[in-house]
Amino acid sequence: MQSPISWYTLALAAFNTLVLFSANQSSQKTLTAEASETGAMDLPQQIRAVPLADRAFDFAGESLPMDNFDVRERLDRELLRNSYYHSNTILLLKRAKRYFPTIEKILAEEEVPEDLKYLCVIESDLSNAVSPAGAKGFWQFMKGTAGDYGLEVNSEVDERFHLEKATRAACRYLKKYREKFGSWTLAAAAYNTGGNRLSKEIQVQRGQSYYDLNLNAETARYVFRIVAMKTILTNPQAFGFDIEEATKYAPFPDYHTIEVKESVANWGDFATKYGTTYRMLKVYNPWLRTASLSNRTKKTYEIRVPKRED
């Protein structure tokens, strides 16, 4: 049996707690005053839920059934996650200025809805990402699928990293699924999980739409993530993102296009010849994967070289 705690011990503990509390309060007031003087508190946050009542949402012109509580809550999750994932959403807003014009132009030429640009937001954060499974580029093509849609992939060249070519390939891929499944929403889901797998789930579950299906965790979130990012990036200030235009990433400065029909022994020498650096050559041509090009088939490659500043 333990000895009872003495009144003296309790009083001493209470006194020490009071001293520490007073010290912390004094320290906090000092920090607050200093922050106020230096302007370090110029980023106040208001943490709120996203109001969804009586709001309509759509993807590629196809409405979300917002009268379904399950749909509302799944969308709510993605809106909240991305509204408060500040650093990533800020980077997306910065990158969108550079890359969206190129992507939008190709989507229009391929006659697919502009909303499909948000797939590569979800797939790669508008970057030439590489997934653990080996998917690469803005549109996250696997090697086999990339070859099926005309993208060259080998040890020296990987056109999954060629934004324009990969975007056109993604358009053809999505249009195939749109024709197969009858909606852009299901086409997006198939892009994520695979057409055969989605067909099997539709058959087994007797589902009529994406929102009727119980899919794997990633695909079940996929369209909701797209709609959430569309909503935030379309009207960022409504979600607290006030990003000055001057801080966004501008499109790449102007460049020359050099046709290369032979082998290139060293891209560093090539870059020097045209007044740039190896680093900038790779920035403008991320699909060039090595320091040289054998080009045994004498294929014509268009290499972008930034213009010299006079």
Residue type present at position 146: A
- Measured CA to CA, the distance from residue 154 to residue 288 in angstroms comes to 10
Are 109 and 168 found together in one domain? yes
If asked whether residues 201 and 65 sit together in one domain, one would say yes
SS3 content of the chain, % helix, strand, coil (to 5): 55, 10, 35
Q: Which residue range is the domain that position 201 belongs to?
A: 58-247
Q: Write down the pTM of the prediction.
A: 0.83
Per-residue model confidence as pLDDT tens for the chain (310 residues): 444 444 444 444 444 444 444 544 554 555 445 545 555 556 566 778 888 888 999 999 999 999 999 999 999 999 999 988 889 999 999 999 999 999 999 999 999 999 999 999 999 999 999 999 999 999 999 999 999 999 999 999 999 999 999 999 999 999 999 999 999 999 999 999 999 999 999 999 999 899 999 999 999 999 999 999 999 999 999 998 999 999 999 999 999 999 999 999 999 999 999 999 999 999 999 999 999 999 999 999 999 999 876 5
Same structural domain, 70 and 160: yes
Q: Which of 137, 128, 165 is nearest to 304 (CA)?
A: 165
CATH number at residue 76: 1.10.530.10
204 and 149 assigned to the same domain = yes
With respect to residue 159, please indicate whether it lies within any of the assigned structural domains: yes
Q: Do 88 and 105 reside in the same domain of the chain? A: yes
299 is a domain residue: yes
Last residue of a domain, one of 247, 272, 293: 247
Domain membership flag for residue 4: no
The structural domain count of the chain equals 2
**Token pair in block for residue 276:** 């740039």
Q: In this structure, are 197 and 147 located in the same domain?
A: yes
Single-letter code of the amino acid located at 4: P
Q: Is 140 exposed, middle or buried (0-12, 13-18, 19+ CB in 10 A)?
A: buried
Same domain, 221 and 272: no
User: 93: which 2 tokens?
Assistant: 């807003």
* Same-domain pairing of 284 and 159: no
Q: How many CB atoms lie within 10 A of CB 203?
A: 9
Q: Quick one: tokens of 152?
A: 């060259």
Could you tell me if 50 and 76 are in contact, meaning their C-beta atoms sit under 8 angstroms apart?
yes
Residue 99 in any domain: the answer is: yes
Whether residues 171 and 295 fall in one domain: no
Tokens of 252: 């790449």
